[in-house]
Amino acid sequence: MEFMTFIIYASIYIGLVATSFYVLTYISARKNKENLLEDYELPSVSVLIPAFNEEKSIEATMKSILASDYSSKKLEIIIIDNNSTDRTYMLAKKFAEDYKKNSGKVEVRVYIEKKKGKGNALNLGISKARNEIILTMDADTFVEPWSLKNLIKYFKDESVMCVSPAIVIHNPKNILQRIQYIEYVLGLFLRKTFAILNAVHITPGAFSAYRKSFFEKYGGYDVGNITEDLELAMRVQYYGYRIENSPEAPAYTIAPSKFSHLLKQRRRWYIGLMRNMWKYKRLLNPKYGDMGVFVLPIAWISIFFAVIITSYLFIKTLFDINDELLFLKSINFDLGSLANLSFYSIERFFFLLLTNPVFIFILLFLFVLGFYLFYASRKLGKVSGFAINLPLFFMFFAVLFGFWWIVSIIYVIFNRDVSWK
């Protein structure tokens, strides 16, 4: 018990230190004027859209990027079908042909990559790309007209090899999507703060841009990697380049709506993170500045605490429920009365909550996270649903996060195979 008390309070302390550090980092840096490209300086861009069985969204994605206010003379779209078994290729090909007939100003080309895997599809796209900036876009992603321009503006600094966007959940409906919505919105602030610290180590494949010269010098995507975008981000950092973030470049992605689909996604992400972190373990080095001495160590310590605390709370809850039932039975409590049991449970919950010192720290976390959400609403301009989504996030995310990591660690320990899908 004393050990777990130490773990819980240590995790709270580290969490407060980390969140406060990130807030202070952002506040201290926000007065510095960012070095951005002017419109006339914007480079040419090749947008790569790998697709596997995306017939429901591929046309909407293509329309979304073609509606960009980027100069059509500096833009090309490349769709790479990766062995789809539905109508993805046919729809993409027809859309490209119709667009060309209607005097489309942007060149749209469609290819087939028979080698399985998103990495292979993207590598084919890179080989076909003619422009100096490579932008990868998932086939279920939608952007604002200004997103592309706001993303590419960050390439003025020659040391910047990649720019990540503001990823937002598109039209969340059920509980799981609403929880993910808040998770992604909170991530907007952290991603920007990591960019200030030169500590971005994850770039979303849904809408991130890279210099083509990096691929030419250090190779394309790692085709055997289940999180090829994460591996690429770590590779960029490993070779000493910068990764920027543009919170003014929103990209909307469709989140998993079923628990099984979400579990598969997070299992792949977390196992990929563990494998790539081992591959680039040298990033845990003072040579890499704040990323090596603070951001990555804190991230892994937080994951360790999440796994330990989730496991402990699950086991403790089972014992507590058993003890409560035995206690109620010993005083002849009327378990058959739902009203009595509900009232008693609510009363006990608030008594335990308000008398627990941890509750004070939770209030402090809420204040800091409120700052994160305020930042996101300022950048996106239309963050909504807090009244419903935020309580769901606080009730369920920590448990889900710990559970996802426990499952992922078990898969790694027993060397279980994990596919991209």
In whole angstroms, give the CA distance from residue 333 to residue 39. 73
Question: What are the φ/ψ torsions at residue 25 (nearest 5 degrees)?
Answer: -60, -45
Q: What tens digit of pLDDT does each residue of 333-374 get?
A: 665 555 555 565 655 555 555 556 666 666 777 777 778 888
**Maximum mean pLDDT: which of 140-154, 328-342, 375-389:** 140-154
Q: pTM of the predicted model, to two decimals? A: 0.89
Torsion of CA 186, 187, 193, 199, to 10 degrees: 150
Does residue 71 contact residue 41 with C-beta atoms inside 8 Å?
A: no
Give the residue from 264, 179, 183, 178 showing the smallest Cα distance to 227. 264
Neighbours of 315 (CB within 10 A): 10
Question: What are the φ/ψ torsions at residue 389 (nearest 5 degrees)?
Answer: -70, -40
Does residue 137 contact residue 220 with C-beta atoms inside 8 Å?
A: no
418, two tokens: 């994990």
Does residue 260 contact residue 176 with C-beta atoms inside 8 Å?
A: no
Q: List, as one string, the DSSP characters of 306-322.
A: HHHHHHHHHHHHHHHHH
Q: What tens digit of pLDDT does each residue of 12-38 get?
A: 888 888 988 998 899 888 778 888 999
Q: What tens digit of pLDDT does each residue of 32-60 get?
A: 888 899 999 999 999 999 999 999 999 99
Confidence of residue 130 (pLDDT cuts 50, 70, 90): very high
Provide the pLDDT for residue 386: 77
- Look at the alpha carbons of 219, 221, 226, 231 in this order and tell me if their dihedral is positive or negative: positive
Does residue 82 contact residue 118 with C-beta atoms inside 8 Å?
A: yes
The secondary structure of residue 239, as a DSSP letter, is T
Question: What are the φ/ψ torsions at residue 313 (nearest 5 degrees)?
Answer: -65, -35
Bridge-partner residues for 133, per DSSP?
Answer: 45, 211
In whole angstroms, give the CA distance from residue 176 to residue 173. 8
Q: List, as one string, the DSSP characters of 119-176.
A: HHHHHHHHHH--SSEEEEE-TTEEE-TTHHHHHHGGGGSTTEEEEEEEEEESS--SHH
Give the DSSP H or E segment for 249. Answer: strand 242-253
166, two tokens: 């503001």
**Domain 37-291 falls under CATH 3.40.50.2300:** no
CATH 3.90.550.10, the chain: domain bounds: 37-291
Segment 168-196 mean pLDDT: 93
Provide the pLDDT for residue 167: 95
Provide the pLDDT for residue 320: 72
Angle of the 386-413 helix axis to the 358-380 helix axis, nearest 10: 110
